[in-house]
Amino acid sequence: METSETGPRVSAQEAAASLAAVHDSRRRARRAGYPVWFWLVTGLGLAAVPLYIAKTWLPDPWGQVIPLASVMLLAVTAIAIPLGALRGVRGCPPTSAGVLREVSVFLWPFVPYVAVLLAGGITWQNGSWDAPLAPLATAAAAFAAWAGFGMAATTFSARR
């Protein structure tokens, strides 16, 4: 072991490589930590949202959508915690720099999912929502967007 020094112990290149390894480990841990069945189970839950909206749509749609989206987000988070213990991880809030970046890793799968919901909403605005298969199609697309994106991110991260 080296003795105490005040100057740098390693070159800038080695330090940069070490920092890259740190960032890679953190990113890999965040994404690879979610198994396939996590995406499938939560995807099924989230796929129920367009069905619920179609079933209980009210004159004030945002009054329904915003609380529902909040509940679903909390539900997914709540599901992730006990499932985490089963997969060998007891997660805790991010504890160091880059908090926003790491939270964004968890939020990214919501982007295609929300896009599908919005597309379904636009379809409804155009009058196509009355078709009986429209909510089912939106639900299937929402499931595919959530689970597909999540599993792809997991697979990509695990192979890096």
Partner 1 sequence: MSTRSGEHADQVGTDGFNPVIHAPVRLRLCATLDALGEVEFGRMLELLEISKSALSKNVATLVEAGYIAQRRAVRDTRQRLWLHLTPDGYTAYRKHVAALQAIVNPR
Q: Does residue 70 bind partner 1 (CB under 8 A)?
A: no
For residues 70 and 78, is the Cβ–Cβ distance under 8 A? no
Shortest gap between Cβ of 120 and partner 1 (angstroms)?
35
For residues 53 and 65, is the Cβ–Cβ distance under 8 A? yes
Query: Binding pattern to partner 1, positions 84-113, x when CB under 8 A?
Result: -xxxxxxxx-xxxx----x-----------
> Residue 130 carries which DSSP code?
G
For residues 102 and 30, is the Cβ–Cβ distance under 8 A? yes
Query: Binding pattern to partner 1, positions 115-134, x when CB under 8 A?
Result: --------------------
Task: Please state, in angstroms and rounded to a whole number, the distance separating the CA atoms of residues 60 and 38.
Answer: 33
Shortest gap between Cβ of 147 and partner 1 (angstroms)?
21
Q: Between helices 99-107 and 12-32, what is the axis angle to 10°?
A: 30
| Contacts of partner 1 in 25-44 (CB under 8 A) | 25-26, 28-30, 32-33
Task: Please state, in angstroms and rounded to a whole number, the distance separating the CA atoms of residues 63 and 69.
Answer: 11
CB of 91 or CB of 148, closer to partner 1:
91
Could you list the residues that contact partner 1 (CB under 8 A)?
1-12, 15-16, 18-19, 21-23, 25-26, 28-30, 32-33, 85-92, 94-97, 102
